[in-house]
Amino acid sequence: MFCLVDCNSFYASCEQVFRPDLRNKPVVVLSNNDCFIVARSAQAKAMGIGDLQTMFDIKSWMQQQNVTIFSSNYALYGDLSARVMNTLRLFSSRIEIYSIDEMFLYLEEISSPQNSPTQISESMNDYGKHIKKTIFQHTAMPVSVGIAPTKTLAKLANRAAKIIPKCQGVGVLDTSKKWDWVKKRTPVNKIWGISSRFSARLAELNIYTALELANSDPKMIRRYFNVCVERTIEELNGHACLSLEEIPTPKKQIYCSRSFAQKTKQLPPIQDAISLYVARACEKLRAQQSMSASLQILLYTASYESNYYNSHQVIQLPYPSDDTRLISAIARTAVQHLFKPGVAYIKAGVGLLELSDKKHQQLDMFHPGQSTKTDQLMTVIDKINTHYGRNSIYVAAEGVHKKWAMRQAYRSPSYTSQWNELPEIKC
């Protein structure tokens, strides 16, 4: 059986862990740069606050209504996500981390064969409740649990658990009778892996619900769409085609891009920002033990401006590298060439492309490649920053006064990752 554990309104719930006064209250979390609403607690959703609504439009209304607003605090979310995942390991050794707030578990047979189907079903439901309760006790994170014989059905079970109040956050779809009941009531665009583009095309074939898709001819669907949709049909009918991806595959590209706090027409702050993004991307690159052979630089102006102007450039590195200093220097020069005087930029980004495994490097006949000394230096830099906190040591090119840095007017303390921001307990 597959089990999908999904954290409810994850970012908003994270903000409530150390703030019991905010539990069961309207809470919203904003995107980078405090632009949009990216997470809403159940109470905030009930008030009609929409996903991705612009902060600017409803800020004063939210303040009047006593909605608590937070800037995103990824240090906190990352830590709490890891805690939820590690607690799940109590239930299964086979876990796939699907995203920051969703994990698949593979559950071995829960009951012995002499039990009746109803008993097995009940025990699965109890087991799901046990998982939900344990996660909340250990981490204060509310989750929904879906259990079913395939990953696609586990997703549906989880969605049902969230929508149907009677489920109390746990959905088990273990018989075809149950999953047909849910499929009849699920529009195709809510199925895992069916995009809105696909659902529009399915509508042309008179397929509107998950049940209609499940009952359609897989071979015909494959001709119209692709093998993935065919697999979805099999999965909807209880035949597992997708297995757990327990070992995450290393990323093939690493991007880091962010909006500035305010538009800028100046080159130096953009260069500093680019250097910081290079540093972040290189950290991720080294963490997954890859090297990059080329680099992409991106510059954006605001899309509502008349001289809307995006530009990007890909630069080949002299040899595959994970050296922040080398890549940062090349990036700064590249930005200088891309930059147009008089244009107000709002966002910049870097991408590390052509990644390869660091352990298996093709040697260059004309260049010795990255030196061992550089490897050692980068290891030391990463160690210092893990130990003493981000930006304890950084390349001077990032700039000392980061005026362009993100707007984060409502950030909560990093309760679990900074000594001077620990939660305070009244004694």
Partner 1 sequence: MKKYLLSLFTHSVPAGFPSPADDYLDRSLDLNTYLIKHPAATYLARAKGDSMEGCGIFDGDLLIVDRSIEAQHGQIIIAAIDGQLTCKILDKNKQCLTSANEHFTPIRISEFSDLVIEGVVIHSVRHHVLP
Instruction: Retrieve residue 113's tokens.
Output: 């064969």
Of 247-255, 335-343, 403-411, 414-422, which part binds partner 1 (CB under 8 A)? 414-422
C-alpha closest to that of 2 among 81, 142, 86, 102: 102
CA distances from 383 to 204, 352, 391, 400 (A): 56, 22, 11, 21
138 is a contact residue toward partner 1 (CB under 8 A)? yes
Among 110, 140, 241, 315, binds partner 1 (CB under 8 A): 140
CA distances from 329 to 191, 276, 378, 400, 417 (A): 46, 11, 15, 17, 31
The smaller minimum CB distance to partner 1, of residues 88 and 270, is found at 88
424 is a contact residue toward partner 1 (CB under 8 A)? yes
3-state DSSP assignment of residue 393 = coil
C-alpha closest to that of 275 among 251, 252, 297, 292: 297
Whether the Cβ atoms of residue 183 and residue 214 lie closer than 8 Å to each other = yes
Q: How far apart are the first and last CA of the chain?
A: 46
Size of the site for partner 1 (CB under 8 A): 24
Among 54, 63, 65, 86, binds partner 1 (CB under 8 A): 86
Among 35, 42, 82, 344, binds partner 1 (CB under 8 A): 82
Burial (0-12, 13-18, 19+ Cβ within 10 Å), 199: middle
The smaller minimum CB distance to partner 1, of residues 87 and 301, is found at 87
The smaller minimum CB distance to partner 1, of residues 82 and 405, is found at 82
18 is a contact residue toward partner 1 (CB under 8 A)? yes
The smaller minimum CB distance to partner 1, of residues 204 and 424, is found at 424
Instruction: Work out how close the CB of 341 gets to partner 1 at its nearest, in angstroms, rounded to a whole number.
Output: 48
- Name residues whose C-beta falls within 8 Å of residue 223's C-beta, 6 or more positions apart in sequence: none
Of 15-23, 113-121, 154-162, 301-309, which part binds partner 1 (CB under 8 A)? 15-23
Instruction: Work out how close the CB of 79 gets to partner 1 at its nearest, in angstroms, rounded to a whole number.
Output: 10
CA distance 290 to 294: 12
Instruction: Work out how close the CB of 140 gets to partner 1 at its nearest, in angstroms, rounded to a whole number.
Output: 7
The two beta strands, 143-148 and 170-172, are parallel
Amino acid letter at 133?
A: K
Instruction: Work out how close the CB of 426 gets to partner 1 at its nearest, in angstroms, rounded to a whole number.
Output: 5
83 is a contact residue toward partner 1 (CB under 8 A)? yes
**Binding pattern for the stretch 344-373 against partner 1, x by CB under 8 A and - elsewhere:** ------------------------------
Q: Hey, which bits of 9-77 come out as E strands?
A: 27-30, 37-40, 68-70
66 is a contact residue toward partner 1 (CB under 8 A)? no
φ, ψ dihedrals at 3, nearest 5°:
-130, 125
Among 2, 10, 345, 415, binds partner 1 (CB under 8 A): 415
198 is a contact residue toward partner 1 (CB under 8 A)? no
Instruction: Work out how close the CB of 419 gets to partner 1 at its nearest, in angstroms, rounded to a whole number.
Output: 8
Among 52, 363, 365, 427, binds partner 1 (CB under 8 A): 427
Among 87, 125, 237, 370, binds partner 1 (CB under 8 A): 87
Instruction: Work out how close the CB of 385 gets to partner 1 at its nearest, in angstroms, rounded to a whole number.
Output: 14
22 is a contact residue toward partner 1 (CB under 8 A)? yes
The smaller minimum CB distance to partner 1, of residues 1 and 88, is found at 88
79 membership: H or E segment, kind and range: helix 74-88
53: left (phi over 0), alpha (psi -120 to 50) or beta: beta
423 is a contact residue toward partner 1 (CB under 8 A)? yes
48: left (phi over 0), alpha (psi -120 to 50) or beta: left
Residues near partner 1 (CB under 8 A): 18-23, 82-84, 86-87, 137-140, 415-416, 419, 422-427
